[in-house]
Amino acid sequence: MLGSGKNRVSLWLIMLSFNLYAGQLKISTYNLLNFSNTTGNERIKYFRQVIDYLKPDILVVQEMANETGMEVFRDSVLNYVDTDFSSAPFHDGPDTDNSLFYRRAKVEFIDALYIPTVNRDIARYRMRMKDSNRDFFIFSVHFKAGEEFEFMRLQEAMRLRSHLDSLPDSTEYLVAGDFNFYYNEAGYCKLVDSIEISPRGLRDILNLEGKWHDNYHYAYAHTQSTRIEQLPDGGAGGGLDDRFDLILCSPNFLDTAGLFLPRESYTILGNDGEHFNKSINSGINYAVPAEVARALYYASDHLPVSVIIMDGLGVDSKGKEVVIYPNPMRTQAYIKLPHFDDFKKARVTITNILGQRMYEVESINPNLVAISHDKFNVGIYFVHIQIETKYNNHNFQTKLAVMR
């Protein structure tokens, strides 16, 4: 039973808003830390918690040790409750390998190709979105680690860029994985072009300048390491201070023809901008519940990175100054903030339809503020954002729908 007329109206508004986002795919990349050779079985319970919260439609992973590891991760992690996921055929290349998992109901795997480099193979997966019947490619990479191997990463990037440049201009693709870049080094610059330089090349949604490693100003963008301590799984310690894991996209993913990638959908699970050089579960994590932060700590020394893609037909490329995505929210949403060069901090206050304050948070992340469903019941909420810059305060308002 739906209940009162007001509840029916709220439910109708939520469902109407949800229909605007039909046909979307959440695509994530995750370095699994040598799964399942290194304490793999002991980490399965933590990966289950991470994936249950992440809820990807397509997941590409790095540091898959062997075909057995791929099967264990698919069957014991992704399909632990429901058998939604299939996997691309395993490819055994040099060192550890890539793997791809996908929800059969939403996307179809077409084929795979593997590009040899001076280090590990680069995987290219061709996928088809079932709702729109559109094809796109996902590349999964794991470039050579270590500051001293910058030239080898450049060689890998050159091999990939040569392949990308051979594709037709209309091809839509994502390049995801563990790039091991410490800054916008030569390999990064080989892959990523600005519009002024080239209509081709890759685009980096965050587009950070200078040094990323151990840079407090880029704390919101770091993906490695999830722990200070050295754990028995052999992962790196030292706390969160590197931006190794990226999702880059072809230029045509940022227009509204064909498939479309909203910039505000770029997220790093568990990164609240408050854990620079700390373990991801140290104190309060404002991006995820405590049990998820703990699972991220033990599962791997990397954090998953995600984007959402959708059919671009009818999408307004200008949008609003403040965007919440996805809206309505089921498990988690992200508030995309407008850009200010002199940004200092943002305060987000969320009230219900009676004007009662339900949630408030401050953030030093100039791009995104994460909110989760456990703070709200089903309904419509008003979101008030105040952005403090060096010289002014800027105020914005929008709405958020919450559904289950």
All structural domains of the chain with their residue ranges: 23-311, 320-402
Tens-digit pLDDT profile for residues 215-247: 999 999 999 999 999 999 999 999 999 999 999
Tens-digit pLDDT profile for residues 143-186: 999 999 999 999 999 999 999 999 998 899 999 999 999 999 99
Question: Does 2.40.160.20 match the CATH number of domain 320-402?
Answer: no
* Reported confidence tier of residue 212, pLDDT bands at 50, 70, 90: very high
Tens-digit pLDDT profile for residues 291-300: 999 999 999 9
Which region among 7-21, 76-90, 218-232, 321-335 has the lowest average model confidence (pLDDT)? 7-21
Q: Does the pTM of the predicted model rise above 0.85?
A: no
Which region among 77-81, 193-197, 247-251, 289-293 has the lowest average model confidence (pLDDT)? 193-197
State residue 16's pLDDT score.
Answer: 38
Average pLDDT of the residues in 236-261: 90
Kindly tell me if the per-residue pLDDT of 301 is higher than 70. Answer: yes
The angle that helices 290-299 and 40-54 make with each other, rounded to 10 degrees, is 140
How many CB atoms neighbour CB 371 within 10 A?
Answer: 23
Average pLDDT of the residues in 316-328: 64
State residue 196's pLDDT score.
Answer: 57
Which region among 4-8, 78-82, 262-266, 307-311 has the lowest average model confidence (pLDDT)? 4-8
What residues are paired with 12 via a beta bridge? Answer: none
State residue 396's pLDDT score.
Answer: 84
Tens-digit pLDDT profile for residues 2-20: 333 433 333 333 333 333 4
Kindly tell me if the per-residue pLDDT of 386 is higher than 70. Answer: yes
State residue 13's pLDDT score.
Answer: 39
Average pLDDT of the chain, as a whole number: 87
* Reported confidence tier of residue 202, pLDDT bands at 50, 70, 90: very high
The answer to whether 23-311 and 320-402 have equal CATH topology is no
State residue 197's pLDDT score.
Answer: 67
CATH topology for the 23-311 domain = Deoxyribonuclease I; Chain A (3.60.10)
Please give the residue that has the higher pLDDT: either 388 or 214. Answer: 214
